[in-house]
Amino acid sequence: MNYFSSDFKLGILGGGQLGKMLLADTRKFDIQTYVLDPSEEAPSRMGCNKFYQGDLMDYDTVYEFGKKTDVLTFEIELVNLEALEQLEQEGTKVYPSPKTLRNIQNKGRQKDFYKTHNIPTAPFQRFQTLEDLKTNLENNSLSLPFVWKSAEFGYDGNGVKIVRSVSDLANLPNVECIAEEMIPFKNELAVIVVRNPKGEIKTYPVVEMEFHPEANQVEYVICPARIDDKVAAKAREIALKVSEAFEHVGLLAVEMFQTENDEILVNEVAPRPHNSGHYSIEASYTSQFENHLRAILDLPLGNTESKVAGIMVNLVGEEGHSGQVVYKNIEEILAIDGVTPHIYGKRETRPFRKMGHVTIVNEDIAKARKTAEEVKKLIRVISNS
């Protein structure tokens, strides 16, 4: 297949920042792209060959868009699965496959999948509704505390709640859900796996999420994770097993817990480029975006190892600020060696909206970590009004 400066067309469902960063690589290789997104201000509206505005959950919209393309991928999981299945049946290559996506979209089903495939994960119970869960709690067939997770449509901490007492259930929606045992853990880790249709497979190094000591929010994604080599090797091995079990094609971000006993438990996966891999643009031999592209086009995979250590800081809208965005002190952080801001291209900021990220690279991870702290203290995403 001739992808380069040819008539071949790659379709991308979703035009957010992940799509935008993927487009940097389709431009580098001069591969034609069509993008579908509901917003006319989508970050990917530029840099693609054709931009279509439309609903990603609508069967006809996704089906008709897909029919124009040769290979179809997505940068967001919330897309119409039935349309993808129909397109696949009719010969469009859809990567990751709708089958994989179906196993991932529903968290209950995802957890069952881990159990079936002997992939270590925290013990859990599935419930069709919140009412079912409450009945089981009353029966003592479920015990407090636990982590409640909505089975579908959760993202970025939405649809997740720690339940310590019955009153914590008060405002939860009456939807399909799981209750997961609370596991004390030392570290939250992630491993990105890339696999192509031929079955060639590689993992990126293990990254570590460092949390703010008080706010309980991820502050830094650090590559490589500052953990024991044996634990790192185990994490990469489990991630490989997850990708192979799913017969996944493209990128799979595997989020994990390192328990107090150095066990590795799979938390959840994302079948696409992932926030935990953004560092790779500057730090890796091949970025996660380029490798996703290589994988879904069945090209040889690129080297996943790092040139230098990398740390990523998210740029999210500050509380109390809504409106036309201003990146305060961005000139100050640009003056620091090894600092690269990525601005996603959203004109309006809102509290906690993901507006960009900053990568810090250095040969010495301790120096990078120190710089990351400087960056975090300086940069502010505010509005000019």
Cα–Cα distances in angstroms (integers) from residue 45 to residues 21, 66, 155, in the given order: 12, 17, 23
Q: To the nearest whole angstrom, how small is the minimum distance from the Cβ of residue 27 to a copy of itself?
A: 6
Please select the residue that binds a copy of itself; options are 57, 233, 334, 366, rule is CB under 8 A. 334
188 annotated as ligand-binding: yes
Nearest residue to 190 via CA among 306, 275, 261, 295: 275
Q: Which amino acid, residue 316?
A: V
8 Å CB contact between 360 and 299: no
Distance CA 286, CA 307 (A): 10
Q: What mask of x and - would describe binding to a copy of itself in positions 34 to 73, judged by CB under 8 A?
A: ------------xxxx------------------------
Question: Per rule CB under 8 A, is residue 341 in the interface with a copy of itself?
Answer: yes
Task: Identify which range of 101-109, 142-150, 205-213, 293-301 contacts a copy of itself by CB under 8 A.
Answer: 293-301
319 annotated as ligand-binding: no
Q: What mask of x and - would describe binding to a copy of itself in positions 311 to 330, judged by CB under 8 A?
A: --------------xxx--x
Look up tokens 């991932």; give the residue: 104
Q: To the nearest whole angstrom, how small is the minimum distance from the Cβ of residue 29 to a copy of itself?
A: 5
Distance CA 356, CA 275 (A): 10
Q: Which is nearer to a copy of itself, 51 or 63 (CB)?
A: 51
Q: To the nearest whole angstrom, how small is the minimum distance from the Cβ of residue 367 to a copy of itself?
A: 13
Question: Per rule CB under 8 A, is residue 4 in the interface with a copy of itself?
Answer: yes
What six digits make up the tokens of 45?
């509206």
Question: Per rule CB under 8 A, is residue 299 in the interface with a copy of itself?
Answer: yes
8 Å CB contact between 361 and 308: yes
Question: Per rule CB under 8 A, is residue 76 in the interface with a copy of itself?
Answer: no
Q: Which amino acid, residue 29?
A: F
Q: Which is nearer to a copy of itself, 119 or 372 (CB)?
A: 372
Question: Per rule CB under 8 A, is residue 15 in the interface with a copy of itself?
Answer: no
Question: Per rule CB under 8 A, is residue 29 in the interface with a copy of itself?
Answer: yes
Distance CA 344, CA 342 (A): 6
Residue 368, Ramachandran bin (φ over 0: left; ψ between -120 and 50: alpha; else beta): alpha
Report the helix count and the strand count for the chain, using DSSP H and E: 11, 21
149 annotated as ligand-binding: yes
Q: Which is nearer to a copy of itself, 108 or 302 (CB)?
A: 302
Distance CA 315, CA 147 (A): 27
Question: Rounded to 10 degrees, what is the CA torsion of 354, 360, 361, 367?
Answer: -140
Binding site for a copy of itself (CB under 8 A): 2, 4-5, 20, 23-24, 27-30, 46-49, 285-286, 290, 294, 299-300, 302-303, 307-308, 325-327, 330-331, 334-335, 337-338, 340-347, 361, 363, 384
- Which residues are part of a known binding site for ATP? 107, 149, 180-183, 188, 267-268
